[in-house]
Amino acid sequence: MTGSARNFLEFHDIPEPGLRSIIARAGELAKAWDERAMSQSLAGKRVALIADDGGWRNTTAFDLGIQAMGGICVHVPIGFNAREETGDLAGYLGNWFDMLVIRTKELSTLKAVAAASPVPVINARTRSNHPCETLGDLAYIKSRRGSIDRLKVVGVAADAKILRSWVEASIALPIEVVQVYPERWHVRDSALLNERFRAGTDMSELLDADVVITDSWPGDAAGDELTGYRIGTDVLDRLPEDAIFLPCPPVTRGQEVTAGAMEHPLCRSRAAKAFLLHAQNALMEWVVTSAAQS
């Protein structure tokens, strides 16, 4: 574990037993959501939601989930690394709130907030990682397969926030993560490298994958440099029949995926993203409980 048990800044901040309990709880909360019988486990909790880096999907889900579980969510219109010191902001927010959910550009900023904050901090996305997205996908995968053990996850993506969060997950959980992409975009961060992660260029790695993920093409790609890494129906037709294809939104049809791939039976993006809400709700429950016990 690399951080405080009450914070969730990187996927592997939470030990394996905690992650497993969160993922299992997400399935229970998905059922409760459908039945409109949500746990009120955040009743009386005041949560600051800070988004100084755009986006809407997971911040909307946080807002909705907090309210559905009885909490109070306040959108705080501040930005970091501006007029006020980050540590000062963390302290002021701690006067009023029980939890901070923050979407910001730099992971280093988020770590500075967490270091100064008297209350738990959750990473709602940075440019470096997006652990809630991976947590939601894993919760969905468990709902489909019954287990997340011994998954082979192939990321046809550059070293960026989505893939990095899956590599973080391979540190904490018994899943194999394989990056398939041109070498200049391979993950080389020594803090992430581990025995359950490897990188290469061979698209045949997809043939026995349990899960395939993608992300937007990097902006510095030249010409048709990435054409061979586009996922189309021809690729998906060769995957195992129970494989799960999870292109990361926002999807750019004609680049990392074809329009046909988005309509393929193995593409489960919309269903998986429903679990972003449930996983984040389970995470907040876990963080509140952990904070109360610390």
Instruction: Provide the pLDDT confidence category of residue 1 given band limits of 50, 70 and 90.
Output: very low
The percentage of the chain sitting over the pLDDT mark of 90, rounded to a whole number, equals: 85
Question: Residues 228-250: pLDDT tens digits?
Answer: 999 999 999 999 999 999 998 87
Question: Residues 38-92: pLDDT tens digits?
Answer: 999 999 999 999 998 878 889 999 999 999 999 999 999 988 877 788 888 999 9
Instruction: Provide the pLDDT confidence category of residue 251 given band limits of 50, 70 and 90.
Output: confident
**CATH class of the domain whose range is 133-272:** alpha beta
**CATH class of the domain whose range is 11-130+274-293:** alpha beta
pLDDT tops 70 at residue 294: no
Question: Residues 100-147: pLDDT tens digits?
Answer: 999 999 999 999 999 999 999 999 999 999 999 999 999 999 999 999
**For residue 247, what are the β-bridge partners?**
214
Instruction: Provide the pLDDT confidence category of residue 290 given band limits of 50, 70 and 90.
Output: confident
The pLDDT of residue 212: 98
By the 8 A CB rule, do 11 and 135 touch? yes
Q: For the residues 22-43, what does the mean pLDDT come to? A: 98
The percentage of the chain sitting over the pLDDT mark of 70, rounded to a whole number, equals: 98
Mean per-residue pLDDT of the chain: 94
At CB < 8 A and 24+ separation, what contacts does 189-196 make? Answer: 189/159, 189/164, 192/164, 192/167, 192/168, 194/167, 194/170, 196/170, 196/171
The pLDDT of residue 22: 98
User: Could you give the CA distance from residue 262 to residue 274 in angstroms, rounded to a whole number?
Assistant: 16
The pLDDT of residue 2: 41
User: Could you give the CA distance from residue 73 to residue 46 in angstroms, rounded to a whole number?
Assistant: 6
**Across the beta sheet with 152-156, what order do the strands follow?**
197-200, 176-180, 152-156, 211-214, 244-247
Instruction: Provide the pLDDT confidence category of residue 195 given band limits of 50, 70 and 90.
Output: very high
By the 8 A CB rule, do 83 and 62 touch? no
Question: Residues 146-167: pLDDT tens digits?
Answer: 999 999 999 999 999 999 999 9
Q: Where in the chain is the domain with CATH 3.40.50.1370?
A: 11-130+274-293, 133-272
The pLDDT of residue 55: 80
The pLDDT of residue 3: 42
Instruction: Provide the pLDDT confidence category of residue 6 given band limits of 50, 70 and 90.
Output: confident
Tell me which amino acid residue 240 is: P
By the 8 A CB rule, do 201 and 182 touch? yes
By the 8 A CB rule, do 174 and 196 touch? yes
Question: Residues 271-282: pLDDT tens digits?
Answer: 999 999 999 999
User: Could you give the CA distance from residue 224 to residue 13 in angstroms, rounded to a whole number?
Assistant: 38
